[in-house]
Amino acid sequence: MRLLFDAASGVVGLVSRTHRAIAPPVLPAISGFVYGCVNAGVTIAGAVADLALTATGVGRHYQPLQATVVGRRAAAALNGAVGDSLTGRYAALATPMRLRHQGVDLSTTALADRYPHPSRHIIVMIHGLVENEEWWQHGDAADRTDFGRRLTDDLGASVLYVRYNSGRSVTENGQELAALLADVTADWPVPVERLSLIGHSMGGLVARSAVRHAVAGRLAWLPALGEVVCLGTPHQGSDVERAAELVGRALGRFSESAPLAALFTLRSTGIKDLRHGLPADSHPAPSGRQLFVAATLALDPGSWRGRLFGDLLVTPASATDHTQQADRHTFGGISHSALLRHPRVYAELRRWLSDPPRWRQRWTRRPPTWSVSGEEMSRIRD
């Protein structure tokens, strides 16, 4: 409730500043008084509503955004848009990183109860910007578009879903994911022999960031890492975010449009991170493989339209990032969101995950050490 009234107050302020910037000199004093009265009314109304919710206890117990699918998606969008600002005053709206299982939060200490038949192969699904784990799931138990359910049936793996605040920086989320995976592998009922990370869009950046933190901290789950799969991930950044940055700068150059430039600065840190993506790092290469999947709306991925526009959010060049060691696949006639459920994408995903990790075939007697350089690891794989 407070966020709604604060947002309304912000809109009033934005309109007021824009009006002053474009109005004749005689009007600002009058308009300032009017807008001041309106803003005061909004502030008072917000305070009264907040006091009422606090006094009745409704604000502590009722979370309407979590009650429906639409509400949960709205909360995910809110976190993606301004999630890094949802602290203190709006902390209840911020999404902490956690596991989700059948629509409820799951602690690592309860894994044995929720997974009575655990597999030694764990697959972790990581959603993208303004999404939550329900974006992977599009129906009831009979729905065959759910990648997680299909991978469980086809590969015998145990699938875990992660929910996180996509408005926070990729680095912060990667660090939290690395710590969460350490808890998961420590509390898993059976020894984890293979760990696969599958991320959609920003989720791929978070997965790669988690690997970076795990390498830097020499976390215990690294030897089990089998593969990192990135679906439509802007490894080299997103042209959409870069365009938003340029528009904001252009608006800020003129006094008449400067107030509107403030709208572009409200983007979350997570969104701004998409400007540059996550380039190849200098850490030793992880033991697992990488699969980079790109999509284009054009039926022919090799056409100029396919290369230029991609899926309208990420170009194939960014999604496949040839500066890194990875297997690559580009699909034509598929949108960015369809990468979460398209049967052709799943067929490639299943085929790729069905192959045993190559490093396990090469190190049958001695597991890889983290002192191996990226160049040496490349020669060994080849």
Mean pLDDT by 10 residues, the chain (382 residues): 42 43 50 44 41 46 65 86 76 87 91 95 96 81 74 95 95 97 97 96 96 93 94 94 77 62 74 88 65 96 92 95 93 95 94 72 37 39 41
pLDDT for 340 equals 94
Which strands make up the sheet holding 289-296, listed edge to edge? 104-106, 98-101, 158-163, 121-126, 194-200, 225-231, 289-296, 327-332
Choosing among 3.40.50.12780, 1.10.15.40, 3.40.50.1820, 3.40.50.1240, the CATH entry for 95-241+267-364 is 3.40.50.1820
* Contact of 139 with 173, CB cutoff 8 Å: no
pLDDT for 115 equals 95
* Contact of 328 with 341, CB cutoff 8 Å: no
| Number of other residues whose CB lies within 10 A of the CB of residue 197 | 28
Q: Give dist(CA 131, CA 121) in Å, integer.
A: 25
Can you read off the two tokens belonging to residue 163? Answer: 């929910």
pLDDT for 70 equals 82
pLDDT for 201 equals 96
pTM: 0.78
pLDDT for 48 equals 41
pLDDT for 256 equals 57
pLDDT for 103 equals 84
Q: Give dist(CA 9, CA 13) in Å, integer.
A: 6
> Which of helix, strand or coil describes residue 47?
helix
Closest CA to 345 of 326, 327, 330: 330
pLDDT for 263 equals 62
